């Protein structure tokens, strides 16, 4: 079982990595045009756990020799972790990651220009923080944000000009981009401002990625014909493993597992072909017996909390009312007025909570109704209720 990575692994060894050759070749070929002054802009989508982050880290490793490849994950930014999402906070994180990667690669990072910019542009500058040798400015007034945004989003192109004898171009990968939905009313203006800088930079390619289904409204806001990028952003969706690919994968990485035909069919249905679920669940299976359908179902139910640990952590962070909304959707999709009636509240009071649950990817809105987006979360909630007679509002 040693060849199976854990489901939360973000970087895989050559031995652990499997499949995705077509996606890798497509991305590599597209991004290589950056070295020809024709940088592409790409939106990489796919459901949670399908392997986007692993794929992006693979691309970074492949292209790192010729390009400055900057990988950033918006969910590890301080403003997201502290639940204080703001445009300025994201700019701080963006700025820090660019400078950090320049330092790691030994490139000129314009330190003198950076300090001069903040000292000569009438900023209300409190001080510079020094984080791992990186001067991070602390600014405190909203009137400075436009200048700050302009400087930060132009920084990559300026760094390229200073280092074009060493690199072919710059590739900026922004993972978990979907969390920008939490900046609320500023989302639309942020996207349009961001688009203005992105589309004007011929030597800086952008790959935006996040846990988004193809029905996510953010996709149309970014890449749709009427979205910020006006249909000019290339969209690539990463799909789960097919049944045949999942079978080949387990035979190669976990040959000690033995399934009956029905047993493997059930295994595939339980995991939906999502690599992270396949890896975690396969590690829990008995290798000393031939696994039939019933044994797979029992093993899946007994290990569901482990397989869904990331979703259960998400569940624990929800408010009681947000959990109530999800529970009302367990048996069928509902209109907002129907959810409000079941919860005995006014329909308008649910707007923010429904938006938050959609932003987290826990529910989706299709054909005028809300439904649970994570089918395994629904399974876990049902199972907990069957076994304990109550839904798990608090999980220890």
Going across the sheet that includes 68-73, the strands are: 68-73, 170-175, 204-211, 41-46, 234-237
State the burial class of residue 282 (Cβ atoms within 10 Å of its Cβ: 0-12, 13-18, 19+).
buried
Q: How far apart are CA 199 and CA 373, in angstroms?
A: 33
| Dihedral sign computed on CA atoms, order 109, 151, 59, 373 | positive
Nearest CA-CA partner of 48 in 184, 234, 236, 238: 238
Q: How far apart are CA 27 and CA 31, in angstroms?
A: 6
Domain ranges of the chain: 21-237, 243-307, 309-388
H or E stretch including 58? Answer: helix 52-63
The tokens 């489901």 sit on which residue? Answer: 7
What is the pLDDT, as a whole number, of residue 10? 61
Q: Which two tokens stand for residue 384?
A: 């907990």
Ordered DSSP codes for 285-338 = S-TTSEE-HHHHHHHHHHTHHHHTHHHHHHHHTS-HHHHHHHHHTSSS-B-HHH
Core vs surface per residue 28-41: b (16+ CB within 10 A) or e: eebbbebbeeebbb
pLDDT, one tens digit for every residue, the chain (396 residues) = 457 776 555 655 555 567 788 888 999 999 999 999 999 999 998 888 888 988 999 999 999 999 999 999 998 998 888 888 888 889 889 988 998 898 888 887 777 677 666 665 666 555 565 655 655 565 555 546 788 888 889 999 999 998 999 999 999 999 998 888 888 777 888 888 898 898 889 999 999 998 776 567 777 788 777 777 877 788 888 899 999 999 999 998 999 999 999 999 999 999 999 998 999 999 999 999 999 999 999 999 999 888 888 888 889 989 999 999 999 999 999 999 999 999 999 999 999 999 889 878 899 899 999 999 888 899 999 999 999 999 999 887
Largest CA distance in the chain: 72
Model confidence, pTM: 0.82
Q: Which residues pair with 363 in a beta bridge?
A: 372
What is the pLDDT, as a whole number, of residue 168? 96
What is the pLDDT, as a whole number, of residue 114? 72
What is the pLDDT, as a whole number, of residue 21? 83
CA atoms within 13 A on the CB side of 41: 17
Phi, psi of 384 (to 5 degrees): -60, -40
DSSP state of 209: E
* Architecture of the CATH domain 21-237: 3-Layer(aba) Sandwich (3.40)
What is the pLDDT, as a whole number, of residue 22? 86
Q: Which two tokens stand for residue 172?
A: 């900026």
What is the pLDDT, as a whole number, of residue 124? 59
Q: How far apart are CA 264 and CA 292, in angstroms?
A: 8
CATH of 243-307, one of 2.60.40, 2.160.20, 1.10.8, 2.40.50: 1.10.8
What is the pLDDT, as a whole number, of residue 223? 76
What is the pLDDT, as a whole number, of residue 221? 80
What lies within 8 Å, CB to CB, of 152 at 6+ separation is 91, 94, 95
For domain 309-388, give the CATH number: 1.10.10.10
What is the pLDDT, as a whole number, of residue 380? 93
């Amino acid at each position: 079982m040693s060849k199976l990575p854990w489901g939360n692994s973000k970087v895989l060894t050559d031995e652990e990595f499997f499949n995705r050759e077509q996606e890798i070749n497509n991305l590599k070929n597209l991004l290589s045009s950056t070295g020809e002054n024709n940088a592409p802009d790409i939106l990489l989508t796919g459901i949670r756990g399908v392997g986007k982050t692993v794929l992006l880290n693979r691309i970074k490793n492949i292209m790192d020799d010729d390009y400055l490849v900057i990988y950033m994950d918006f969910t590890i930014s301080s403003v997201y972790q502290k639940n204080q999402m703001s445009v300025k906070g994201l700019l701080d994180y963006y700025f820090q990651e660019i400078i950090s990667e320049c330092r790691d690669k030994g490139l000129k990072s314009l330190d003198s220009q950076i300090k001069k910019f903040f000292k000569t542009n009438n900023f209300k500058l409190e001080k510079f923080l020094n984080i791992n040798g990186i001067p991070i400015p602390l600014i405190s007034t909203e009137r400075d944000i436009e200048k700050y945004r302009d400087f930060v989003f132009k920084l990559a192109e300026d760094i390229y000009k200073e280092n074009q004898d060493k690199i072919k171009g710059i590739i900026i990968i922004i993972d978990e981009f979907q969390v920008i939905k939490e900046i609320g009313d500023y989302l639309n203006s942020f996207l349009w401002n961001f688009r203005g800088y992105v589309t004007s930079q011929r030597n800086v390619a952008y790959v935006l990625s996040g846990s988004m289904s193809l029905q996510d409204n953010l996709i149309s806001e970014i890449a749709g014909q009427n979205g910020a990028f006006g249909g000019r952003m290339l969209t690539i969706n990463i799909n789960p493993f097919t049944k045949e690919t999942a079978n080949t994968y387990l035979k190669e990485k976990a040959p000690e597992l033995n399934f009956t035909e029905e047993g493997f069919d059930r295994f595939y249905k339980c995991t939906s072909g999502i690599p992270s679920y396949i890896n975690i669940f396969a590690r829990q299976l008995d290798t000393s017996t031939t696994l039939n359908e019933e044994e797979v179902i029992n093993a899946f139910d007994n290990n569901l909390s482990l397989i869904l640990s990331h979703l259960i952590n998400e569940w624990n962070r929800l408010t009681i009312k947000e959990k109530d909304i999800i529970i009302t959707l367990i048996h069928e999709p509902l209109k907002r007025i129907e959810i409000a009636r079941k919860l005995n509240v006014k329909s308008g009071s649910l707007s923010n909570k429904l938006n938050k649950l959609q932003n987290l990817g826990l529910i989706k809105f299709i054909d005028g109704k809300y439904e649970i987006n994570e089918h395994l979360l629904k399974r876990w909630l049902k199972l907990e209720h069957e076994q304990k007679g109550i839904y798990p509002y608090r999980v220890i």
